[in-house]
Amino acid sequence: MNAQPDLSFDYSPWTFRANASASQREAQLERQRALAGKGGITIGEGAYVSALAMVDPDSLALGDESLIAAHAYLTGDLRIGSNCTVNAFTVVRGTVSMGDGVRIGAHTSILGFNHSMEPSAPVFRQPLTSKGIVFGDDVWIGSNAVVLDGVTVGSHAVLAAGAVVTKDVPDWAVVGGNPARFIRDRRSPRKPAGSGDGILRERLASFAATARADATEIIARSWQQEASGTGGFGEGRYVDRPGAAATVRAHCDAVEIADLLLRTTPPQLSRDAHAHRLRSLQDPRTGLVPEYGPDGLPDAGEPAFGRGEATYHVLSVGYALDLLGSGFKHPIHAVAGTGPADLAARLNALPWRKEAWECGAWVDAWGTAEYWNLAHAADANRGSTGTLEALFGWLLTRVNSAAGTWGTPSPDTRLKVVNGCYRLTRGTFAQFGLPVPHPEQLIGTVLEHGADPRYFADGRQNACNVLDVVHPLWLARKQVTHREADIKAWAATQLDHALSQWHPGQGMAFSAAPESAQQNLPGLQGTEMWLSITWYLADLLGHSEALGYRPRGVHRPEPAFLLPTL
């Protein structure tokens, strides 16, 4: 019996670049050469044209890294920019011009021609007419949409699934229905509660649908293929974004995104292979996970708790393994066996007045390490020995009762104090399901910080700063209804910003500020964090269920472990 051909690339062409074999790449190039040999056809670098697509144009310019999936039907005079996707069973005919980054959902019809229909003769004898269709850049066209001849669709527009577009669509517009009508401007602020809830829910659902549709491509673009025998893991590793160095966190972010949006694992490795790779990185002496060294293997130096990437890996690797149905191979020895007196001495030695964020991050990692040792203990010796009780006792007696934080916030210190408070409460009160102390004071401090235009004006936000406000607000709001209107107003403003930051096929950038250099480029870290932030912002407004996802990893809203009660 002949083996069935692998059709995955034909229907999911965005997986080709990361996963195709040498023979499959050569077959694709041969397909492109055959098409170009017909004349009038040019195909850019990194493009993909399924062998199951009917591509029979009078002329075609297909841009770099653009994709044509199985059973697409293309005729006429076509210009398709770079990073465009023509999904399965889509029809593009007549005179059609697309900018860059146009995404076309399956079963869509783009018809850049028409029949005359004078009553003097049957329609089939009438001549064809063609005004042409023009799309700008960054346009998302939902599945089963129909775009008729003569239409111009502006840049950044969204045509909802099933829309029948008969008139021009302006830049940034979202349209839907039959005939398509204007729904909203993608950039417009959220309307007041009571009059715009339906619009907000629709916007959240549209954002989540876009994220799911792009998730596989986003993860694939961050898979760095490696030649066997070059050190490290021969088949490849994850990078935050193309061109960046491979990191352990990038692998964990890929696992989190796949779980959050697709409820599966990244397709580059099997579930068991993902878990095996992450587990194998753990240093058996300390229980910590170091960063990759220059040779692609875990850094040979012994990692130290409280310094470097190994400390955050307690969170990122631990929760990635948890999502994979696995866990650390060894206890976190850097924490295991710590007694109450030793813990208190370590806490007292931290630079709380000068580096509140660093101190909060230390507590976060310590509490999370204790959680892994306690929750996944194979024997009682790996569980808590009273140090968790000592930790919460120390925190409750050291909290600033006027601010609800650890450290005294001032115009110069408030950023680090609030951000450190998020890290501290995430790994303690939130992770173990305990109420935060002084929630009303905490809300006041956090809202005052959230009004600082240096960090929260439009175009100034970054994922850390927004997360470090929304999570404490969400946590405190579970206990009190203090300043409810102010919380919702802040959440609505930041949610409007977050929903406008999606880069088609690339995800979200960690920072919105252009001067933040590499942090302004979309990647796995920014995508994972902003997806979680969006959930929390939407939940503060009562509409998180419209997203259809809920964080289950580092940023999970539920406690990870409930301590025994009397």
* Residues involved in catalysis: 115
Cα Rg, the chain, nearest whole Å = 27
Distances (CA, A) of 389 to 343, 358, 374, 401: 11, 22, 13, 20
Q: Residue 221 — φ and ψ, nearest 5°?
A: -70, -15
How many beta carbons lie within 10 A of that of residue 345, not counting itself? 11
Please state the three-class secondary structure of 384-405 as a single string: CCCHHHHHHHHHHHHCECCCCE
| 69 contacts 86 by C-beta, under 8 angstroms | yes
> Residue 329: how many CB atoms within 10 A of its CB?
15
Ramachandran region, residue 3 (left: φ > 0; alpha: ψ -120 to 50; beta: rest): beta
* 522-523 vs 508-509, strand pairing mode: antiparallel
d(CA 444, CA 425): 16
Q: What is the DSSP string of 165-219?
A: E-S-B-TTEEEETTTTEEEEETTPPPPPTTTSHHHHHHHHHHHHHHHHHHHHHHH
Q: CB–CB of 322/329 below 8 Å?
A: no
**Cβ-Cβ contacts under 8 Å for 168 (sequence gap 6 or more):** 151, 152, 153, 154
Q: How many CB atoms lie within 10 A of CB 321?
A: 23
DSSP string, 535-548: HHHHHHTT-GGGG-
Question: Is residue 426 a contact partner of residue 420, using CB atoms and an 8 Å limit?
Answer: no
Q: Which of 66, 73, 68 is nearest to 45 (CA)?
A: 66
Both tokens of residue 487? 């919380």
d(CA 79, CA 343): 65
- 339 Cβ partners below 8 Å, 6+ apart? 385, 386, 387
Q: What is the DSSP string of 400-447?
A: BTTTTBSS---TTTHHHHHHHHHHHHIIIIITTT-PPSSHHHHHHHHH
